[in-house]
Amino acid sequence: MITSFLYMGYRLCSAKCLVLGLSLTFIMGCYLASVSIPSEQKMLPDAVKPKISHSTANKKTLAILVPFRDRFEELLEFVPHMYKFLDAQNVPFHIFVIQQKDNNRFNRASLINVGFLYTKNVYDYIAMHDVDLLPLNPDLKYDYPAYGPLHISSPKTHPKYHYATFIGGILLVKKEHYELVDGMSNKYWGWGLEDDEFYVRLKEAGLKVTVPANVTTGPDDTFLHIHDKTYRRRDGRKCYNQREVTRKRDRETGLHNVVYRTHSVHNLTIDSLPVTVLSVELICDKNVTPWCQCPEPVKPKKTR
């Protein structure tokens, strides 16, 4: 009798324990799924270290972050050019191409956020670098910025943009400063304004942007802009309330909440020069930024 009571007690407990165990596993699973982005980050291999030589030892290291989609021809020119240009300056660097691999409109700022998260444990400063802007003047020094961010493609020398607060194209930022301003906004899908919003972040943080010293060249001979505007059309569409929202400083999004999935990391070479391609899917919350996909423009009706 006693034994059968004990046996029933044991059966009851084991059933309860099983239910309890399963529930705990489920709750833990849900919790892990909800924090899957940072944990995925941990599973990635460490970012490739820069090539260090005698002349570059003890120097701060630079991660060149290139936001990228469908610009393969430009990349083939960019990589050998940058090696030639920066090796002459003894800058220890590595090129990271952050490729957007999803159906959303291009998001340059979020890609830079992803590139920063991937490289921050290894590198001291970043260059946000357009793939189609090739520096020509050797006086454009890509050294660790002494103070605030260093705008390599200043308004006086950029081939296209000349307004005083322009900071797009090529900008060098120390790791600490990029973190201080929570990186870039994630709300800018499509072309334009993400760099202007970043300018406001820097300004509010009291960071003054400087430009390279002793540059005597101008908009025609400081850079080569390999950008064919008919072949590489800028996506200037505005839909939903995009215009209204992206005119304002964004206090909600940035480095801390960029949502993405890493598809692959490939270390490849172009003309035997190493480059890392990080392919990522940017995840859009359509409740917050419905303009990550604009409805197609209405096609004109055929008239006979």
Contact 119, 198 (CB under 8 A): no
When CB distances are held under 5 to 8 angstroms depending on the partner's kind, the choice from ligand UDP, Mn ion, none that residue 82 binds is none
Show Cβ contacts of residue 198 under 8 Å, excluding neighbours closer than 6 positions.
109, 167, 181, 184, 185
The one segment of 13-21, 82-90, 130-138, 291-299 that binds ligand UDP by CB under 6 A: 130-138
Least distance from Mn ion to the Cβ atom of residue 234, Å: 8
- The answer to whether residue 130 forms part of the interface with ligand UDP (CB under 6 A) is yes
- The answer to whether residue 131 forms part of the interface with ligand UDP (CB under 6 A) is yes
Least distance from Mn ion to the Cβ atom of residue 291, Å: 21
Separation between Cα atoms, residue 144 and residue 124, nearest integer Å: 8
When CB distances are held under 5 to 8 angstroms depending on the partner's kind, the choice from ligand UDP, Mn ion, none that residue 71 binds is ligand UDP
- The answer to whether residue 227 forms part of the interface with Mn ion (CB under 5 A) is yes
Name which of residues 226 to 245 contact ligand UDP (CB under 6 A).
Answer: 227, 234
Show Cβ contacts of residue 160 under 8 Å, excluding neighbours closer than 6 positions.
219, 225
What is the DSSP annotation of 38-85?
Answer: HHHHHHSPPPPPPP--TTTTTSPPEEEEEEESS-HHHHHHHHHHHHHH
- The answer to whether residue 223 forms part of the interface with ligand UDP (CB under 6 A) is no
Show Cβ contacts of residue 39 under 8 Å, excluding neighbours closer than 6 positions.
32
- The answer to whether residue 82 forms part of the interface with ligand UDP (CB under 6 A) is no
The one segment of 64-72, 79-87, 205-213, 214-222 that binds ligand UDP by CB under 6 A: 64-72
Q: What is the largest CA-CA distance in the chain?
A: 100
Both structure tokens of 232: 């590489």
Separation between Cα atoms, residue 164 and residue 218, nearest integer Å: 15
Closest to ligand UDP by CB, 56 vs 113, is 113
Question: Could you tell me the CA-to-CA distances from 219 to 159, 276, 279 in Å, in that order?
Answer: 4, 30, 33
Least distance from ligand UDP to the Cβ atom of residue 247, Å: 18
Least distance from Mn ion to the Cβ atom of residue 227, Å: 4
Question: What is the length of the chain?
Answer: 304
- Kindly tell me which residue out of 10, 53, 70, 80 binds ligand UDP, with binding defined by CB under 6 A: 70
When CB distances are held under 5 to 8 angstroms depending on the partner's kind, the choice from ligand UDP, Mn ion, none that residue 280 binds is none
How would you class 72 by CB atoms within 10 Å of its CB: exposed for 0-12, middle for 13-18, buried for 19 or more?
A: exposed
- Kindly tell me which residue out of 83, 93, 106, 116 binds ligand UDP, with binding defined by CB under 6 A: 106
Closest to ligand UDP by CB, 56 vs 184, is 184
Closest to Mn ion by CB, 85 vs 240, is 85
- Kindly tell me which residue out of 66, 127, 170, 181 binds ligand UDP, with binding defined by CB under 6 A: 66
- Kindly tell me which residue out of 71, 94, 174, 177 binds ligand UDP, with binding defined by CB under 6 A: 71
- The answer to whether residue 132 forms part of the interface with Mn ion (CB under 5 A) is yes
Separation between Cα atoms, residue 41 and residue 278, nearest integer Å: 12
Least distance from Mn ion to the Cβ atom of residue 111, Å: 15
Distance of CA 190 to the CA centre of its chain: 14
List contacts with Mn ion (CB under 5 A): 132, 227
Interface contacts to ligand UDP, rule CB under 6 A = 66-71, 106, 108, 130-132, 168, 191, 227, 234
